[in-house]
Amino acid sequence: MRRPVLLVVAHGSRDPRHAATVHDLVRRVRAQRPGLRVETGFLDFNVPSVGAVLRSLDAEGVRDVVALPLLLTRAFHAKADIPAVLAEAPLRLRIRQADVLGPSPLLLAALERRLHEAGLTPADRSSTGVVLASAGSSDPEAIAVIADVAREWRHTGWCAVRPAFASASLPRTEDAVRELRELGCARVAVAPYVLAPGRLPDRIARGAAGADVLADVLGPSPEVAQVLLERYDAARTPLLTALGA
């Protein structure tokens, strides 16, 4: 029996860097799992849309799909938008929605990779305060997850870790940078907890003006690609079991 197609569901953006980064990540996923068919659909702004990809798969005769939200927290898009789009798919498709990417130790490893690429070394760890800068959400569950990630990351040896948000929630990145300065951290680094460039990551970058280090977005890091594959595997197992595979 063929493996279910992995459909990566991205939010989409008017910023062309967003779609380019999503496609780079999908190429890395394909490279890490040769033979797995991986498609990309967008909820807004970019093509192809999720619905168009599902209709195309149905026309080809595909029957089993794992739809994976390219999201770090389980907020409105994962709880409402994506299920609504999937509910409109052709009836012959058997679709299972995978979990969102976060939280995951692999995402912490990706954050560490980006900070090291930005110039930090292991020797800087104990004297560096880190701002975990998220896009933000009005969903209390998503905000709580970001706070939990920051607390967990703090236990790995950083001087301090503070969450911050580009929208919908407080504090802002610049506020967290200032707090870490006042706390006495020798240097301050901002680690964007976002997957791709766009309007909100740009806002994070502006808020990081007072920091010593600004890391890149998570993007197509190998750790993020591995999380996608883990979420796919977890979602496809019950699907195949139900089919008697």
Predicted confidence (pLDDT) per residue in 23-76, tens digit: 999 999 999 999 999 999 999 999 999 999 999 999 999 999 999 999 999 988
Compute the half-sphere exposure of residue 207: CA atoms within 13 Å on the CB side of its CA: 29
- For 127, residues 6+ apart whose C-beta sits below 8 A from its C-beta are 159, 185, 186, 187
Strand partners, 164: 133
Average pLDDT over residues 120-134: 98
- pLDDT at residue 1 above 80? no
Section 202-223 average pLDDT: 98
Total residues belonging to the chain = 245
Predicted confidence band at 84 (pLDDT cuts at 50, 70, 90)? Answer: very high
Which residues have CB under 8 Å from 6's CB, separation 6+?
29, 36, 37, 38, 39, 65, 66, 68, 228, 232
Q: Determine the pLDDT at residue 237.
A: 84
Q: 166: which residues sit within 8 A by CB, 6+ positions away?
A: 133, 134, 135, 136, 172, 173, 200, 201, 203, 204, 207
More confident residue, 76 or 5: 5
Kindly give, in sequence order, each residue whose CB lies less than 8 Å from that of residue 40, ignoring residues fewer than 6 positions away: 7, 8, 10, 22, 23, 26, 48, 53
- Cα of first residue to Cα of last residue in the chain, in angstroms, is 7
Q: Rounded mean pLDDT of 139-168?
A: 96
- Looking at the DSSP bridge assignments, the partners of residue 188 are 129
Please give the average per-residue pLDDT across 223-243, as a whole number.
86
Note the pLDDT tens digit of each residue in 6-28: 999 999 999 999 999 999 999 99
Question: Model's pTM, two decimal places?
Answer: 0.94
